[in-house]
Amino acid sequence: MKKTIALIFTLFLIIGLAACSNSNNEDNKKKEQTTDKDEMRVAELMQQDKTHIWFVVPEIKTGELEEDTAINRFLVTKNGKMKVYVAKEVPEQTMSKMLKLDNKELLKNIKEQDKDNYETTKNFAIGDTKTEIEETERYMKEGKEEYRPKMGYGYALTREEVDNKQPEDILQKLKDYKGKLENAEYKEPKSQNVNLGYSSDSEETISIAREYNFPKTIAHGDNTDNDLEALSFNNPFQPIEISDSNIAGLSYSDGNEDEENNDQSPYLVTKVGDEIKDVTLDDPEHPAVKENSSETE
């Protein structure tokens, strides 16, 4: 009996060690660096045992990426893991302002920005919901014939006309929703696997959704990720200097750029050393990229 138990234990141990070994082998393959010292590939940089902070710029207001360009959010990567932080919008967080900070200061700063954006979004949602409650109560008092909603409001009227929902029920839902918003608390972004891969259009894509922990939206809520859950790139963005720092990464080129209009947004860029001279697109067959890629049609 003891021999049987010992044998079973040994078998489980062997299986466990084999699984662990396979997992380590897969991780090692993902971390494989294929570039020379003066070259860079984004996916490979994201797999390094080193913290890299990436600036996400979905669009620009000027003709090219420059020191006054506003950053929309940040990706923090290390060992194939990433976290998404949202940039503060007022005032705008410019490339120049962020590049003047060292990595330690920058990481602290973007965490504060993300929390500030959360609180601002929360307060706006609470305020809008409070107004919506007042509008619903006014609608119930005045009736459909007399009621004229404030611009941007009138949720109860819409729901009654579209879904035949009773204003009394909508009022209670709005009150419950407002309570949930008020009780919502900020949480740090979750660590997730870097998901940079190729789409069926042969473009590199990555998710930048923040996914704040707000309750399900009723009338007014969190619009952080609206139309901005993922970005696509088709161009290696070569190193340029902004505010005494070199940055490089990925961008999107339609082939029509010139000296007057060199807009290659969206951009995904990070600080790089002086030794980096050339950026290339990631190898679709690299293990860190291939597992995130769609099948080509």
- For 187-213, write each residue's pLDDT tens digit: 999 999 999 999 888 899 999 999 898
For the chain, strand residue ranges (E) read: 39-40, 52-57, 73-78, 81-86, 192-193, 197-198, 204-207, 230-233, 235-242, 245-251, 267-272, 278-279
**pLDDT of 182 above 60:** yes
CA atoms within 13 A on the CB side of 100: 7
Average pLDDT over residues 140-165: 90
- Provide the CA 236 distance to its chain's centre, in angstroms: 20
pLDDT at 228: 72
Query: What are the tens digits of pLDDT across the range 68-108?
Result: 999 999 999 999 999 999 999 889 999 999 999 999 999 99
pLDDT at 290: 80
Residue among 289, 251, 259 at smallest CA distance from 55: 251
**pLDDT of 257 above 70:** yes
User: What pTM did the predictor assign?
Assistant: 0.84
φ/ψ of 93, rounded to 5, equals: -95, 100
